Amino acid sequence: MKARLNFVVILRWILGLIFIISGTEKLLSPMENFLYAIQSYEIIPLQELAELIAAVFPWIELFIGVFLILGLWIRWALLGTGAMACGFIVIVGQGMIRQLPLVDCGCFGDLFHFPLWVTFALDWMILLTAYGLLRTLSRTKALSLDSWLD
Amino acid sequence: MSNINTIMRKILKKLVVTLMVILVPVLMIQGARSLSTFSQSDFSDPISRRVKGNPGAPIHIIEYIDFRCGPCAYGSRWLRNFMEEHPGEVFLEVRYYPVHLSHGALTARFAECALRQKKFWEVHDALMATQSEWIRSVNPEAKLLALAQDQGLDVVALEACWNDPKLYDQIMDVKKQGRDLGVDATPTYFVNGDMVVGARRLSDELKRIMDSEKKLPLTTEGTQ
């Protein structure tokens, strides 16, 4: 294994860090804060489903972030990242089209506040970054647990 | 055969590492949550009540809020509209539950000092309406003082009040009472004694009560 630091590894860490911050903030805040953010997008009809997402989703974000930073199950973590980014794009996009009165995207809880168009752009960047990292998986795997364990 | 063994060993090794990688953040998050709860658990005397509506109303609501929380602002607006649409049906009591000890506790002190100038509801509504503005300030005192002036409060008396160290303990005592009742998130409501967590749940519960015309008298659970 040639463990060399390269640009894609730094991108992988940045992506992981974004997810860790986002997940941790939601997990340390009352669940209702994130639940409110979900409900504000008016896309999930069932209260129970919204509650389930509010409870589970931050953990998924956190684990994906940790996996990306440590480089464990990288392919799956990147696929998960891409899937989440696609979901965010659809949810935020419909919010923009419907002109929902959203002050803030709710993605980082109370830590950072971004208007929807910034969030939309950020989600596209995450999606494209995840795609790019998947395309260069052999370089992305540098300095990773995957390359050590495989 | 040895190839299979090697592959199995690799998979097992990776699963063990994965388990450890999952376990560490879980323990850290749980630890941080416990620490946060522990550091907020030492308080004293109760303070005056913040109520509005018809005391003889069939629906009594106790609302635990943090002025800093988004769902509380949403719930507060929804509840105000509901009370306007159904006059005489609801008696509301607000109690402080500052989850965040910076902005949350500061705004609770601010609202309590406004109450002492008989302007609680004006300040309550203004805080909720302007939440997105002051929540982003690192030092929101200036914005709160401007808000106080807009609401016609005596700013000098207000500052003297919110600098009173006893006030913080009193507000935290209200929070402790809430925790003793099982509150651990905001907004939490007690509708005729039944705990309802979240603004959406409240609207469902009130609609259910109104639809079934099952307007129960006040129960004592959860009231002062």
Q: Write down the pLDDT at residue A88.
A: 92
CA nearest A27 in B: which residue? B29
Higher pLDDT, A109 or B109: B109
Chain A residues near any Cβ of chain B (below 8 Å): 24, 27-33, 35-37, 39-40, 47, 50, 62-63, 66-67, 70, 72-73, 103-104, 106, 110, 113, 145, 149-150
**B186: nearest Cα among B107, B112, B85:** B107
CA distances in angstroms from B38 to A66, B26, B121, listed in the order given: 27, 18, 31
Give the DSSP H or E segment for B144.
helix B141-150
Q: How far is B135 from chain A (nearest CA, A)?
A: 8
In tens, the pLDDT along B3-38 reads 788 888 888 888 998 999 899 999 998 888 777 554
> Is B17's Cβ below 8 Å from some Cβ in A?
yes
Confidence of residue B44 (pLDDT cuts 50, 70, 90): very low
pLDDT at residue B47 greater than cutoff 60: no
> By the 8 A CB rule, do A32 and B186 touch?
yes
CA nearest to B183 within chain A = A30
The DSSP code sequence of B161-178 is HHT-HHHHHHHHHHHHHH
Pairwise pLDDT comparison (A112 vs A91), residue with the higher score: A91
pLDDT tens track for B147-161: 999 999 999 888 888
Q: Which residues contact B153 (CB under 8 A, 6 or more apart)?
A: B114, B117, B119, B123
Is the pLDDT at B100 greater than 80, yes or no? no
pLDDT value for B40: 41
Q: What is the pLDDT of residues B54-99, one digit of tens each?
A: 888 889 999 999 998 888 999 999 999 999 888 888 989 999 998 8
* Contact assignment for B29 to A27 by CB distance below 8 Å: yes
ipTM surpasses cut 0.85: no
| For the ranges A18-32, A42-56, A65-79, the one whose mean pLDDT is highest | A65-79
Nearest-by-Cβ selection for B29 from A24, A40, A149: A24
SS3 for B184-205 is CCCCEEEECCEEEECHHHHHHH
pLDDT of A33 above 80: no
pTM for the whole thing? Answer: 0.56
**What is the pLDDT, as a whole number, of residue A6?**
85
Between strands B50-53 and B194-197, the pairing is unpaired
Ramachandran angles phi, psi of A38, nearest 5°: -60, -45
Residue A42 has pLDDT above 60, yes or no: yes
pLDDT at A140 over 70: yes
Could you tell me which chain A residue has the CA closest to the CA of B70? Answer: A33
